[in-house]
Chain A
Amino acid sequence: MIEVSDTPIDASAALCAIQAEAVGAGAIVSFTGLVRQHSISGHVETLHLQAYGTMTVKGIEAAAARAKARWPLNALHVRHRVGDMSAGETIVFVAAASAHRRAAFEAADFMMDYLKTEAIFWKKEVTPNGEKWIEPRDEDYRDRARWTVEAE
């Protein structure tokens, strides 16, 4: 289940949804990403996230397909917000269900690294000092490189 939407994400409901779908799974790992109040630009009043329609969704679907090929998953859900958000709001929810915990942890981690570096989103922070478009941090690219060791 892949969803990119400007409506708020209810992480608890999203977790229930994957649990209902992942019949037979022994583990579900979920990650909820929240909008931070502070960044290097200062106090964040609004985070604005832009996607490019089907290209963004297709990219996430392709990454999910790679995850499913790599780990035995019963279900994999990704929900991503776009539009204007305030600090504390849920920006992303990722959950992976598998027979055992290791695959679920790794698949969720892999999907988050994809979303932080390669996913087709543009992000603007609005602070009291003005607006600024944000690019990935070096740390995000390093995190993502962890998954390229084996054939992918």
Chain B
Amino acid sequence: MMVQLVYLGRLSDVSGQMTEDCELPDHVGDTSGLRVWLDRRFRSDGAFTHATVRIALDGEIVADPYPLRGAREIALMPPVGGG
């Protein structure tokens, strides 16, 4: 499944980019699986699995585990820092 991943805040430093067009492996079917996969991929020691990191699918925040099917843009959102 082809999606655009959006890495926000410190996660943009962890992944080295803000957006990435990415073909998700078949075994990554929900938000919980995505967190684990990204964490391994970037060897980020829990940066993506931490409970304070929220996930938005096409602009809507969802609760884990939420199916990724049909999502086009997936945002990984650490706690907001305020303006």
Q: Which residues of A contact B (CB under 8 A)?
A: 33, 49-50, 52, 54-55, 58, 80, 91-92, 115-124, 131, 133-136, 140
Contacts and interface: CB of A to CB of B under 8 A. Distances in A.
Interface residues of B, number: 17
Contacts of B13: 131, 133
Contacts of A134: 81-82
A122 B80 contact: yes
Interface stretch (B23-31, B32-40, B62-70, B71-79): B71-79
9 contacts: A33-B83, A49-B83, A52-B6, A54-B59, A55-B59, A55-B75, A118-B82, A119-B82, A124-B9
A136 B82 contact: yes
B50 interface: no
Contact of B56 (A55, A80, A115): A55
A115 to B, nearest CB: 4
Taking each of B10, B78, B79, B82, which has the highest tally of chain A beta carbons within 10 Å of its own beta carbon? B82
A92 B81 CA distance: 14
B17 interface: no
A121 B80 contact: yes
A50 B9 contact: yes
Contact of A122 (B9, B56, B59): B9
Given A55-B56, A135-B82, 9 more contacts: A52-B75, A52-B77, A55-B59, A115-B82, A115-B83, A117-B82, A119-B80, A122-B80, A124-B9
A138 to B, nearest CB: 12
A122 B81 contact: yes
A123 B82 contact: yes
